[in-house]
Copies of this chain bind each other. A is one copy, B any other.
Amino acid sequence: MIEGRKEAASRTARLDAVFAALADPTRRAIIERLSRSEARVTEVAEPFQMSLNAVSKHIRVLEASGVVERHKKGRDHILSINTRSLDEVDGWIERMRCYWEERLDAMGRLLRELKKDHKLGPKKDRKRGSR
């Protein structure tokens, strides 16, 4: 995909922010919770052995990274996952996988070639066969 320098820069910044957001077990647990269903802030905070304020800080990091979104429903603040942000991260890992799978394929081909040569045996034997 061809993309402008600006888009590439903002994509880079987004990847930085999402990976940093994911580098914490509490934040990953929040994502896990919200992946099952959207929830109010207090519901999200409930299972954690920490203050509501501490959980709120983690939620703000997730919101800043774009992984979590917030909307109001009456008086409640409802949190939900923005799946597209994780798609981008997933896309990056997928791209790396493509590279190394190509390498593994190439190594596999090389190995098959070597095996074939081995089957034909060393050159002096080969001369004796039909040529």
Which residue numbers of A lie inside 8 Å of B, CB to CB?
Answer: 12, 15-17, 19-20, 22-25, 28, 31-32, 35-37, 81, 83, 86, 89-90, 92-97, 99-100, 103
Q: Is the beta-carbon distance between B20 and A16 smaller than 8 angstroms?
A: no
A25 contacts across to B, CB distance below 8 A: 12, 15-16
Pick the contact of A99 from B19, B36, B94, B97 — CB < 8 Å? B36
Q: Distance in Å from the Cβ of A80 to the closest Cβ of chain B?
A: 10
The 9 closest A-B pairs by CB, nearest first: A19-B23, A35-B99, A20-B23, A19-B22, A35-B96, A90-B93, A12-B25, A35-B100, A19-B19
Q: Distance in Å from the Cβ of A104 to the closest Cβ of chain B?
A: 9
A16 contacts across to B, CB distance below 8 A: 23-25
Q: Is the beta-carbon distance between B103 and A36 smaller than 8 angstroms?
A: yes
Q: Distance in Å from the Cβ of A113 to the closest Cβ of chain B?
A: 19
Q: Is the beta-carbon distance between B100 and A83 smaller than 8 angstroms?
A: yes
